[in-house]
Amino acid sequence: MKEAGLRVLAVDDVPAALGDLCGMLREAPEVAEVTGAGDPLSALRLMRDSRFDAVFLDISMPGLDGLELGSLLNKLATPPVLVFVTAYDEHAVAAFGLGAVDYLLKPVRPERLADALARVGRIAPAETQPQNRPAPDAMAALPVESAGRTRYVRRSDVRFVEAHGDYVRLHAASGVHLVRMPISRLEEYWESAGFVRTHRGFLVALGAVRELRSDSAGGLLAHTDIGDVPVSRRHARELRERLLRAAQRGEFDQSS
């Protein structure tokens, strides 16, 4: 064991996958100690008896899946940093909703594991006391999978959100990004960050609104630098009040 570094617990019910992950973690210079668990109950027992800085866990496991295990770990007095390692990309939003700092797709590439460990290290450096760990902002970025690559779209770059069935379109300066998540769920996560419902199918970042204007049919639009967002009569009054309060607090985005 290395003298200093992260203490990591890896959880996977497939022995070969667990062995590969533990081997990769042991090779990482940031990691001091790696412990493997072949099922969620064993992981819980290990967490009860020892302190780990981070837990790398699979999602598809019998009895108690990785998301359920992650939710239980979050209830500990000093919860570990969570990283999910799975063959399925459809659980990414739920994983980040639990506070995970990364979501790795199998087979794990060394560079992606290095990125994940860097994220863990920024939150749980080995010499930092657990009570001094900053709480991660779990939904400050959303993962977008495309052509086998994961891109993170920062919430601060998103001007408005458009519903698209079980998905949402994130409208940002970098383009339009499709994420599998209902708009009602995203509203729950992002409301405290200044995103406001303007319409049944739209959210807008208060700081991105440049002005309110009328459309050709007499409806109301919230104008941003990358497009207009419809505002229903039901939401118009609340939006005006929120914009006024934001202006009084100087919260408007200063970018052009």
- What would the mean pLDDT of 223-243 be, rounded to a whole number? 93
pTM of the model: 0.55
CATH T-level assignment (fold) for domain 144-248: OB fold (Dihydrolipoamide Acetyltransferase, E2P) (2.40.50)
pLDDT for the residue 131:
43
- Is pLDDT of 8 > 90? yes
CA dist 73 and 95 (Å) reads 13
Domain boundary assignment for the chain: 6-138, 144-248
Instruction: Please report the pLDDT score of residue 111 as a whole number.
Output: 93
Neighbours of 138 (CB within 10 A): 15
Q: Work out the average pLDDT over 44-53.
A: 89
Please check whether the two domains, 6-138 and 144-248, share a CATH topology.
no
pLDDT band with cut points at 50, 70 and 90 for residue 120: very high
> Is the model's pLDDT at 35 over the cut of 80?
yes
CATH number of 6-138: 3.40.50.2300
Cβ proximity of 158 and 171 under 8 Å: yes
CB 66, CB 72: distance < 8 Å: no
